[in-house]
């Protein structure tokens, strides 16, 4: 097994986890759930995609071996619990999720590449990392999964992941490649939030 190199900063990984955990906690807050539910949503959203990625690439599941991940997720839930509700209104959930989506898609791709996964497969690992936590969160919340909605979500994760893989293969330094890829994914998701952009739906045979 190829060891995880120092080029994947633990603090950056924790920051991505925290942002995604916040998105999970905010959804529980919008649904007026208990703190137990909020903490669970934060943990599942924060680590869901990364857990599946690690299992698929044969890496140690990151949050099981990192003593900071679970406390960070629960700490984010605690912050959301004690802050005024109006702080999190006006699409705060969507924007927090958009930040996490871009960052996590890039981190997932970079980790897969570090473990010797080919670029195309690593891109898919990035998409899984960025999306699975949100999918599980939506299913638990009883609302339509992001996979069942035409809005640009998985597409934004795919853009960030593909750019990360392509720039890495081209030898672009990670200090440039990672922020560019993450910002591209965030920008596409942000445009979808701001202007309602979405993919066309299947209409063959209509009319």
Q: What is the pLDDT of residues 24-63, one digit of tens each?
A: 998 898 888 999 999 999 999 999 999 999 999 999 998 9
Q: Please indicate, yes or no, if residue 126 is contained in any of the structural domains.
A: yes
Task: Give the pLDDT confidence score for residue 188 in this predicted structure.
Answer: 96
- Nearest CA-CA partner of 60 in 50, 48, 70: 50
Is residue 163 included in any domain, yes or no?
A: yes
SS3 content of the chain, % helix, strand, coil (to 5): 75, 0, 25
Question: So what's the pLDDT on residue 4?
Answer: 42
Residue 21 domain flag: yes
Domain that holds residue 113: 10-195
pLDDT of residue 7: 44
In a domain, 100, yes or no: yes
Instruction: Give the mean pLDDT of 83-96.
Output: 74
In-domain check, residue 37: yes
Whole-prediction pTM: 0.88
**pLDDT tier for residue 90 given thresholds of 50, 70 and 90:** low
Statement: residue 80 has pLDDT above 60:
yes
- Flag whether 205 is in a domain: no
Name the one residue in this structure whose structure tokens are 């960070």. Answer: 72
Torsion angle, alpha carbons of 39, 41, 42, 45, to 10: 160
pLDDT at 97 over 90: no
pLDDT score recorded for residue 6: 39
* Total tally of structural domains belonging to the chain: 1
Is 50 exceeded by the pLDDT of residue 5?
A: no
pLDDT band at 11 (very low <50, low <70, confident <90, very high): confident
For residue 148, is it within any domain?
Answer: yes
What pLDDT is attached to residue 56? 96
Instruction: Return the higher-pLDDT residue of 206 and 111.
Output: 111
Reported as a pLDDT band with limits 50, 70 and 90, residue 162 is very high
Name 189's Cβ contacts closer than 8 Å, sequence gap at least 6.
Answer: 97, 98, 101, 102, 152, 153, 156
Give the pLDDT score at 9: 60
Would 130 be classed as within a structural domain? yes
């Amino acid at each position: 097994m190829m060891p995880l190199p120092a080029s994947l900063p633990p603090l950056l990984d924790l920051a991505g986890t925290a942002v995604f955990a916040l998105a999970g906690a905010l959804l529980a807050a919008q649904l007026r759930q208990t703190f137990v539910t909020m903490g669970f949503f934060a943990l599942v959203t924060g680590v869901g995609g990364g857990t599946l990625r690690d299992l698929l690439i044969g890496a140690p599941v990151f949050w099981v071996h990192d003593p900071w991940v679970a406390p960070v997720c629960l700490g984010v839930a605690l912050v959301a619990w004690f802050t005024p509700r109006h702080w999190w209104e006006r699409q705060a959930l969507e924007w927090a999720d958009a930040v996490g989506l871009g960052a996590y898609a890039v981190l997932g791709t970079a980790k897969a590449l570090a473990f010797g996964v080919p670029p195309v497969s690593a891109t898919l690992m990035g998409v899984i990392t960025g999306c699975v936590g949100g999918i599980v969160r939506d299913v638990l919340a009883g609302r339509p999964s992001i996979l069942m909605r035409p809005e640009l979500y998985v597409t934004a994760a795919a853009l960030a992941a593909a750019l990360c893989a392509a720039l890495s293969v081209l030898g672009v330094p990670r200090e440039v490649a990672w922020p560019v890829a993450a910002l591209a994914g965030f920008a596409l998701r942000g445009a979808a939030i701001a202007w309602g952009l979405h993919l066309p739906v299947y209409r063959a045979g209509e009319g």
